[in-house]
Chain A
Amino acid sequence: MILFLLKAVLILSLGLFFVPKNRKYFFTFSLHLALVVISSFLIFNTFNQVASLKFPFLSLLNNTIYIEIDKLSAFFMLVINFTCLTGIIYAKAYLEPYYKSKSSLEFALHYFSFLWLHIAMLFVVMFRDALAFLIVWEIMALTAFLLVIFENEKKETIKIGIQYLIQMHIAVVFIMIGFIWAYSQTGADFSFDGLSVYFESHNPLPLFLIFFIGFGIKAGFIPLHSWLPHAHPAAPTHVSAVMSGVIIKMGIYGILRVLTYIHHDLFNIGLFILISALVNGLIGVSLAIVQHDIKKLLAYHSIENIGIIGIGIGLGVIGLAINIPALTVLGFAGGIMHILNHSLFKSLLFYTAGAVYTQTHTRNIEELGGLIKKMPKTALFFLIGALAICGLPPFNGFISEFLIYSGMFKALLSGNLQTDILLFFAISGLAIIGGLAIFCFTKVFSIVFLGTPRSDKVTHAKEASTSMILAYALIAITILLIGLLPVLFINPLIDIVSIFTKDTQAIQQAIPTLNSISISSGLFIVLIALFWLVRYWQQKRQNIRKDATWACAYTGANPAIHQYTATSYADNFVQISNQITNVKKEFKNFEEAEIFPKERTFQTHSSDKIEDYLIKTPTTFILNFLQKIGVFQTGKIQHYLLYAFAFIMMIFILTLLNLI
């Protein structure tokens, strides 16, 4: 029955091309909803039974392809469903301005790709057969590409889309090599399960590294991240949210799935994951601080959060290797929970940022300001997202970071010197990442929403439409629910973690702690409300006035100019971190004899050094080289005949000399 319904959805999706333009949204929404209902049924069943769900789906090249859903898959399906559902709710209002400029076919293709992205991601986590997995993985990359280039009238977007497509295919190559290598070495199944045979008898590190590169490109592990900060801003907002919320998590899924088959020599693997995750977190957030494009900034934060997830997973693997169950359980639990949490607050941040973009038509935060007065609800939800991403209580980001922290502190006591030093780096790394995230989000929130407008683009902004706010609210409620009552989510989490280790005692011990956190957070909110009332009561009898901001009695300030900007806010940090952030300032100094200064400009640029060295330098080198070779292409037939003649002569001479 379920299978029939699932296949029906797949076939009905073609109908999108035949439905009239004004009905397309409704049609695609109902298909998404059907998909969510069907897969939720599967998720529910998986969590309600001990064994994983397995049934045949179709046969491909005489092989029966099974759908196999264990707790890990079910968890990812949940994340995919939630983000895609809020995404499609949000898309209604977001795509309205494009209704006139885009043709019916373009809309059909967009909705079709979005639906198939949803389907492909669900199948990515449901298939174990390598061939089927690679096919749906490819569908996922292609549909995402089609979604990114929605605004195809911009040349830049097409360029970014193609860059994305190329990098995704490099990823596919690595994953494919990984499967083929394992297959050729062992002759076992050409599937994930076949990997276990290889890992049992070989050193797992080399093959793991190949998979890590493949999946790491998707997940945005530095230095493989360079597609991410470009693709996110170019894509429509609901697509960026899904990209950041779930597509990059598919990379994490791949890594986790491969890890489930490795049972020995885990220490180096864990160390490798931990170090790359720490680098990700620190560099990601540092680069985020200097960005002015709000969506690019959020993209760098995705890199940072992949880092936090990686820290959890890396610690979990190290815990397995050196046999500290507390570290394993809490590390994996924190990392996996952060996958869900990140998909929530990051999509919320993207949705609110997208609403700002629709209203002001700019993503440059230097041109914004004072939006809290025009869009109070959007501002409030952005604030919730910002507080959650900084990992502050009582929001959800805190819970996952807390689990990781408590795992680390527990392991500190029972570890040896080596682990203690690793944990030292992990603890201070996570603390610095948290601090930098606060620095970054105080900056973004205040520059975009607070103060006074910095340009007239803000003047016509209006509050986001109801369907957008519905999408915000759905996410915000979940964020608060996880943040205030984390215990509700602990049992499914235990189920997922038990895939990696059977000794889940440490997380059960964490339940009273989480309860205390709920109480503390509740008390926190109650106390704030209480003091609000006290102040209300105190101020009722007093003279409350409204007046201009205090500027040391100087009243001639122009609020649009005499205000802190994003550049000036970040400058303090840039001074101590310019090795990473690579900010260059362009301005002309005053000359000595210049009595009446002329008009001046000041510009700052930042560039991603890793991207420069890894992508830009080699590609420019190759392009230059190819241009030099281009000398031969003269366009004259005589020259080409000469080349042919020279070639024949060369062959002739080489044969004479018995060289070939």
Chain B
Amino acid sequence: MMSLFFILITAPFFVGIILKVKAKFAARKLPSILQPFYDVARLFKKGAIYSTTTSFIFKIAPLVYFVSVLMAALFIPIGSLKGFLSFNADFVYFAYLLAFGKFMMIIAAMDTGSSFEGMGANREALYSMLIEPAFFILIASLALFTDNNSFYGLFLNLHISTNLSYILGLAAIYVLMYIAMIENSRSPIDDAKTHLELTMVHEVMVLDNSGFDLALIHIATWIKFSIYGTLISNFIIQNEWPLALQIGSFFFVQMAFAGVVGLLESFRARNKLEKNPQWIIMLSAIAIVLFLTTLIITQKIILY
């Protein structure tokens, strides 16, 4: 329960920090860190326009998407704080739940009959399909490494101590970070800044959403960032630390992650669109290296 609380309170500041970092490097005047918060608050006060082409799918999809992300947050532990829900192989449920939300968003985009949104929907479907194996291989390596198979058990028993396990930790953080970037349609896959519908992925899918629905979609993005940030922070937090230190380092890692995302967005050019699939498959390749490293650490591959 505690972990859910912490994930949710860091979520609103995530996008704010990213925006701040980006503004700093672009030498613009810094927006308030609460700017995204104000935006969403204003959306909640607004009415909505629904396209005449759409059906009930379009109305229910933002809710399902939002709830799927919120539910996903229930599974995530922080250090030794257990997630609200935890059972064997809960990461499978986690992944498929997020997939359900995405499924609904994709068909909602197609529901509008707009070719722009079709484009975005189709790209989102392809990219999230390609990222799936990377996530599962990553989790499989961790399961193998820690001899556990639930999120809580994985991270509780994750001791980064030997030389090889540093490689494991670094590679895992790298993969997770880019999974987060792809899940949230950020650079280098997509760039929320460009307002050219032809090259957009996630932003273009929600062109027709407005008011309450759009606000929920924005909040879902925050929570998604926060979830992945928490997963990354779990690699750094060690469970024998005192609780206060654990929480402190959680906040630190969350902020650092948001900062790194801002940095990446400022300095990294986005990929050529047709190179994206290859780039995403590269993450699976890194995950495979991770898996092999784990096999060496657990002495299933014995090196002489």
| Cross-chain contact of B113 among A412, A427, A452, A524 (Cβ < 8 A) | A452
Check if B52 is an interface residue, CB within 8 A of chain A: yes
28 contacts between A and B (CB under 8 A): A392-B100, A398-B96, A401-B96, A412-B149, A413-B144, A413-B148, A413-B149, A417-B300, A423-B140, A427-B140, A431-B132, A431-B135, A431-B136, A434-B96, A435-B128, A435-B133, A443-B125, A446-B106, A450-B57, A450-B110, A451-B53, A520-B74, A524-B71, A531-B63, A544-B47, A548-B51, A559-B53, A564-B119
Which B residues lie within 8 Å of A445 (CB)?
Answer: 107
Check if B301 is an interface residue, CB within 8 A of chain A: yes
Q: Do the beta carbons of B71 and A549 come within 8 Å of each other?
A: no
Q: Do the beta carbons of A552 and B197 come within 8 Å of each other?
A: yes
| Residue from A417, A450, A517, A545 whose CB has the most chain B CB atoms within 10 Å | A450
Would you list which residues of chain B between 67 and 124 have a CB under 8 Å from chain A? 67-68, 70-71, 74, 85-90, 92-93, 95-97, 99-100, 102-103, 106-107, 110-116, 118-119, 121-123
Which B residues lie within 8 Å of A528 (CB)?
Answer: 60, 63-64, 67
> What separation, in Å, do the CA atoms of A542 and B43 have in the docked complex?
11
> What separation, in Å, do the CA atoms of A539 and B128 have in the docked complex?
32
Q: How far is the CB of A511 from chain B (nearest CB, A)?
A: 11
Which B residues lie within 8 Å of A550 (CB)?
Answer: 51, 112, 114, 207-208
Which B residues lie within 8 Å of A431 (CB)?
Answer: 95, 132-133, 135-136
Q: Do the beta carbons of B125 and A510 come within 8 Å of each other?
A: no
| Cross-chain contact of A442 among B107, B147, B301 (Cβ < 8 A) | B107
> What separation, in Å, do the CA atoms of A401 and B89 have in the docked complex?
12
Q: Do the beta carbons of B44 and A538 come within 8 Å of each other?
A: yes
Check if A527 is an interface residue, CB within 8 A of chain B: yes
Q: Do the beta carbons of A539 and B277 come within 8 Å of each other?
A: no
Check if A439 is an interface residue, CB within 8 A of chain B: yes
Q: Do the beta carbons of B92 and A562 come within 8 Å of each other?
A: no
A 366-400 to B, binary, CB cutoff 8 A, 1 in contact else 0:
00011011001001000100010011110000100
Which B residues lie within 8 Å of A452 (CB)?
Answer: 53, 113
> What separation, in Å, do the CA atoms of A446 and B89 have in the docked complex?
32
Q: How far is the CB of A559 from chain B (nearest CB, A)?
A: 6
> What separation, in Å, do the CA atoms of A372 and B148 have in the docked complex?
45
Q: Do the beta carbons of A539 and B132 come within 8 Å of each other?
A: no
Residue ID in chain B nearest A417 by CB atoms: B300
Check if A600 is an interface residue, CB within 8 A of chain B: no
Task: A417-B301, A446-B106, A539-B48 given; name 5 further pairs at CB < 8 Å.
Answer: A431-B136, A438-B125, A438-B128, A535-B63, A550-B208
Check if B126 is an interface residue, CB within 8 A of chain A: yes
> What separation, in Å, do the CA atoms of A510 and B50 have in the docked complex?
44
Check if A201 is an interface residue, CB within 8 A of chain B: no
> What separation, in Å, do the CA atoms of A513 and B87 have in the docked complex?
6
Would you list which residues of chain B between 183 and 237 have a CB under 8 Å from chain A? 197, 207-208, 211-213, 216
Check if A626 is an interface residue, CB within 8 A of chain B: no
Check if B55 is an interface residue, CB within 8 A of chain A: yes
Which A residues lie within 8 Å of B140 (CB)?
Answer: 409, 412, 423-424, 427
> What separation, in Å, do the CA atoms of A447 and B100 have in the docked complex?
19
Check if B270 is an interface residue, CB within 8 A of chain A: no
Q: Which of A19-27, A112-120, A571-579 is the interface stretch? A: A571-579
Q: Do the beta carbons of B106 and A427 come within 8 Å of each other?
A: no
Q: How far is the CB of A421 from chain B (nearest CB, A)?
A: 8
Check if A568 is an interface residue, CB within 8 A of chain B: yes
| Residue from A441, A442, A445, A447 whose CB has the most chain B CB atoms within 10 Å | A442
Q: Do the beta carbons of B132 and A434 come within 8 Å of each other?
A: yes
Check if B49 is an interface residue, CB within 8 A of chain A: yes
Q: How far is the CB of B304 from chain A (nearest CB, A)?
A: 15
Which B residues lie within 8 Å of A512 (CB)?
Answer: 87
Check if A428 is an interface residue, CB within 8 A of chain B: yes
Q: Do the beta carbons of A450 and B55 come within 8 Å of each other?
A: yes
Q: Do the beta carbons of B147 and A435 come within 8 Å of each other?
A: no
Check if B129 is an interface residue, CB within 8 A of chain A: yes
Which A residues lie within 8 Å of B118 (CB)?
Answer: 563-564, 568-569
Check if B42 is an interface residue, CB within 8 A of chain A: no
> What separation, in Å, do the CA atoms of A200 and B213 have in the docked complex?
64
Interface size class of A (residues with CB under 8 A): 35 or more
Check if A543 is an interface residue, CB within 8 A of chain B: yes
Q: Do the beta carbons of A432 and B133 come within 8 Å of each other?
A: yes
Check if B143 is an interface residue, CB within 8 A of chain A: yes
Q: Do the beta carbons of B144 and A412 come within 8 Å of each other?
A: yes
Q: Do the beta carbons of A451 and B110 come within 8 Å of each other?
A: yes
Check if B295 is an interface residue, CB within 8 A of chain A: yes
> What separation, in Å, do the CA atoms of A522 and B100 have in the docked complex?
15
Which A residues lie within 8 Å of B51 (CB)?
Answer: 546-550
Q: Do the beta carbons of A373 and B52 come within 8 Å of each other?
A: no
> What separation, in Å, do the CA atoms of A454 and B65 have in the docked complex?
28
Check if A420 is an interface residue, CB within 8 A of chain B: yes
Which B residues lie within 8 Å of A546 (CB)?
Answer: 49-52
Residue ID in chain A nearest B54 by CB atoms: A549
Which A residues lie within 8 Å of B144 (CB)?
Answer: 412-413, 420
Q: Do the beta carbons of B67 and A531 come within 8 Å of each other?
A: yes
Q: Do the beta carbons of A542 and B48 come within 8 Å of each other?
A: yes
When A435-B128, A528-B63 are in contact, do A417 and B53 touch as well, CB less than 8 Å? no
Q: How far is the CB of B5 from chain A (nearest CB, A)?
A: 17
Q: Do the beta carbons of A391 and B96 come within 8 Å of each other?
A: yes
Q: How far is the CB of A385 from chain B (nearest CB, A)?
A: 13
Check if A474 is an interface residue, CB within 8 A of chain B: no
> What separation, in Å, do the CA atoms of A4 and B12 have in the docked complex?
72
Check if B274 is an interface residue, CB within 8 A of chain A: yes
> What separation, in Å, do the CA atoms of A416 and B113 have in the docked complex?
52
Q: Do the beta carbons of A438 and B99 come within 8 Å of each other?
A: yes
Which B residues lie within 8 Å of A446 (CB)?
Answer: 106-107, 110-111, 121
Would you list which residues of chain A between 512 and 542 have a CB under 8 Å from chain B? 512-513, 516-517, 519-520, 523-524, 527-528, 531-532, 535, 538-539, 542
| Cross-chain contact of B116 among A369, A420, A551 (Cβ < 8 A) | A551
Q: Do the beta carbons of A539 and B121 come within 8 Å of each other?
A: no
> What separation, in Å, do the CA atoms of A409 and B92 have in the docked complex?
10
Check if B3 is an interface residue, CB within 8 A of chain A: no
Check if B66 is an interface residue, CB within 8 A of chain A: yes
Q: Do the beta carbons of B122 and A402 come within 8 Å of each other?
A: no
Which B residues lie within 8 Å of A520 (CB)?
Answer: 71, 74, 85, 93
Check if B261 is an interface residue, CB within 8 A of chain A: no
> What separation, in Å, do the CA atoms of A592 and B129 have in the docked complex?
39
Q: Do the beta carbons of A549 and B112 come within 8 Å of each other?
A: yes
Q: How far is the CB of A523 from chain B (nearest CB, A)?
A: 7
Residue ID in chain A nearest B277 by CB atoms: A576
When A524-B67, A546-B49, A568-B118 are in contact, do A442 and B143 touch as well, CB less than 8 Å? no
Check if B130 is an interface residue, CB within 8 A of chain A: yes
Check if B284 is an interface residue, CB within 8 A of chain A: yes
Check if A199 is an interface residue, CB within 8 A of chain B: no
Q: Do the beta carbons of B113 and A450 come within 8 Å of each other?
A: yes
Q: How far is the CB of A205 from chain B (nearest CB, A)?
A: 27
Residue ID in chain A nearest B113 by CB atoms: A451
Q: Do the beta carbons of B47 and A542 come within 8 Å of each other?
A: yes
| Cross-chain contact of A387 among B90, B100, B112, B212 (Cβ < 8 A) | B100
> What separation, in Å, do the CA atoms of A543 and B210 have in the docked complex?
12
A 484-510 to B, binary, CB cutoff 8 A, 1 in contact else 0:
000000000000000000000000011
Which B residues lie within 8 Å of A548 (CB)?
Answer: 51-53
| Cross-chain contact of B132 among A406, A432, A559 (Cβ < 8 A) | A432
> What separation, in Å, do the CA atoms of A379 and B54 have in the docked complex?
13
> What separation, in Å, do the CA atoms of A428 and B138 have in the docked complex?
10
> What separation, in Å, do the CA atoms of A428 and B96 have in the docked complex?
14
Check if A609 is an interface residue, CB within 8 A of chain B: no
| Cross-chain contact of A569 among B60, B74, B85, B122 (Cβ < 8 A) | B122
> What separation, in Å, do the CA atoms of A545 and B47 have in the docked complex?
8
| Cross-chain contact of B137 among A393, A427, A436 (Cβ < 8 A) | A427
Residue ID in chain B nearest A395 by CB atoms: B100
Q: How far is the CB of B27 from chain A (nearest CB, A)?
A: 30
